[in-house]
Amino acid sequence: MLYLDGSQGEGGGQIVRTALTLSAITGVPVRIERIRAGRQTPGLRAQHVTAIQAAATICAAHTEGVEVGAEAITFAPGGPVRPGRYEWAVGTAGAVTLVLQTVLLPLALAPGPSRVRVRGGTHVPLSPSAHYLRDVYLPFLWGLGAEMTLTIEAFGWMPEGGGAVSVEIAGGAHLQGVDMRQRGPLERIFGTALGCNLPAHIPQRMANRAINLLAGRDALVDIRPQRVTGLSTGAGIFLAAEYANGRGGCGVLGRKGMPSEVVAQKAVTELLAFDRSGAAVDEHLADQIVVPLALAEGPSWYTTPTVTSHLATNIAVVRAFLDRVLSVDERTGLVSIL
């Protein structure tokens, strides 16, 4: 049994999700204590409970202490990960993307195809959006050798949720390491300006402002407005940048009283800051790809604009499970996995 302190490093739900992913893949049971101990509301939230239940389902794990508010859990896989058709519901506007990121890699490495559907929040604060998962994270996994396709079936915002995302996973992946010490030239910037249960002029204004701010870039710029309906009302713009050997993205959610043009400007400012950094991946992708690269065959290198606590936390959890040498150069932002 591996024991982890859930309050270490970033101190949030990431330790739990990363540990579940690696436990399911390696078969090593894990006990996590002091979960989110330093947060205003310590213990598991609804999306964490759903992620644990999802991980347990795919590997027939025995679990203890899995309930909202719990500050300690035990997770013991009962066998290898089983491909299949799965569906889970967070039950709130909790992020479906965080549930998906817990199970995608185990199912990608499983010996057959799977289909996963998760219901809840698709575009909510403090989590990657469904667009980020589709346009940034999954294409990176494709490059490693894990074939997946994500469909946003319904859009879920705070506070009601009501969104749904499905992912088709080929399975049988053989991940290969990457050398992303140089990202190469910018090839395109693309994205979606989204308005749900709102007038069409709102996403159109966001898209227009972003396109104007990005005018003159030596790359294709393709940002499209989209008006949808759903259980919840919401808006935002979600951008991605593709380089010859790199990728990044960002998103900004709208809120009451914030003009559409300001929402777009915030997103473009963040994307251009990443572009100026020269790093191969953005700071969020930097921590999300530690696990797949640690599971890949061969060494990997990549650069990030910022060494975040999330990145350091994921590296610490990977070291507990896997015999890989991981290091980060704080000065240059170079991450090495040997």
Of 15, 12, 67, the closest CA to residue 40 belongs to 12
Sequence-distant (≥ 6) Cβ neighbours of residue 152 within 8 angstroms: 122, 130, 131, 134, 163, 164, 165
Which regions of 218-333 does DSSP assign to beta strands (E)?
Answer: 220-228, 234-243, 246-253, 300-303, 326-329
Distance CA 210, CA 203 (A): 11
Return the CATH number of the domain spanning residue range 83-174.
Answer: 3.65.10.20
| 77-91 tens-digit pLDDT | 999 999 999 999 998
Distance CA 235, CA 198 (A): 8
Q: What is the pLDDT of residue 196?
A: 97
Domain ranges in the chain with CATH number 3.30.360.20: 184-277
CATH of 184-277, one of 3.30.360.20, 3.40.190.10, 3.40.50.1820, 1.10.287.110: 3.30.360.20
- Say what angle helices 13-26 and 309-321 make with each other, to 10 degrees: 30
Sequence-distant (≥ 6) Cβ neighbours of residue 199 within 8 angstroms: 227
> How do 2-5 and 30-33 pair as beta strands?
parallel
CATH of 1-82, one of 3.30.110, 1.25.40, 3.40.50, 1.10.10: 3.30.110
Distance CA 262, CA 246 (A): 27
| 203-227 tens-digit pLDDT | 999 999 999 999 988 899 999 999 9
Does residue 71 contact residue 16 with C-beta atoms inside 8 Å? no
Domain ranges in the chain with CATH number 3.65.10.20: 83-174
**Residue-level pLDDT, tens digit, the chain, 338 residues:** 999 999 988 888 999 999 999 999 999 999 999 999 888 889 999 999 999 999 999 999 999 999 999 999 999 999 999 999 999 999 889 999 999 999 999 999 999 999 999 999 999 999 999 999 999 999 999 999 999 999 999 999 999 999 999 999 999 999 999 999 999 999 999 999 999 999 999 999 999 999 999 998 889 999 999 999 999 999 999 999 999 999 999 999 999 999 999 999 999 999 999 999 999 999 999 999 999 999 999 999 999 999 999 999 999 999 999 999 999 999 999 999 99
Q: What is the DSSP code string of 84-136?
A: SEEEEE-SSS-BHHHHHHHHHHHHHHSSS-EEEEEEEBSS-TTS--HHHIIII
* 310 assigned to active site: yes
Sequence-distant (≥ 6) Cβ neighbours of residue 286 within 8 angstroms: 279, 302, 304, 306, 308, 311, 335
Which of 48, 123, 284, 310 is the catalytic position?
A: 310
> How do 179-180 and 334-337 pair as beta strands?
unpaired
Distance CA 280, CA 167 (A): 26
Cβ-based neighbour number of residue 174 at 10 Å = 10
Amino acid at residue number 160: E
CA angle 133, 135, 140 (to 5 degrees): 80
Residue 77: asked if its preceding bond is cis (omega within 30°), the reply is no
Domain ranges in the chain with CATH number 3.30.110: 1-82
Distance CA 98, CA 223 (A): 25
| Residue 171 token pair | 């399975």
DSSP-assigned letter for residue 40? S
Strand order in the sheet with 72-76: 2-5, 30-33, 72-76, 62-64
| 254-264 tens-digit pLDDT | 999 999 999 99
Q: What is the pLDDT of residue 189?
A: 98
Phi, psi of 90 (to 5 degrees): -70, -35
